[in-house]
Amino acid sequence: MAVESSILSTKMVLKLNGGTDEKGEPIVRSKTYSNVNTQALDQDVYDVAAGMAALQTNPFEGVHKVEETILVNL
């Protein structure tokens, strides 16, 4: 049987460097942006994240693109 997937929603998670804690472990802060266009290209999501990171006080660490999908058995 064939299974087909469909993207229901996409989120962008901006990861920012929050310094270190008292043990010297890195602190990573996250900002999540919902309702990202499900057709958005990875490069476009990254470019938007990098532009938004430039407006933040903490240094940019990276970006995660989170997709929620539904699987349908055909």
Q: Considering its fold, how many domains does the chain have in total?
A: 1
Model confidence pLDDT, tens digit, residues 12-70: 999 999 999 999 999 999 999 999 999 999 999 999 999 999 999 999 999 999 999 99
pLDDT band at 6; cut points 50, 70, 90: very high
Q: Who contacts 47 (Cβ-Cβ below 8 Å, separation ≥6)? A: none
pLDDT band at 74; cut points 50, 70, 90: confident
Give the residue numbers spanning the domain of 31: 3-73
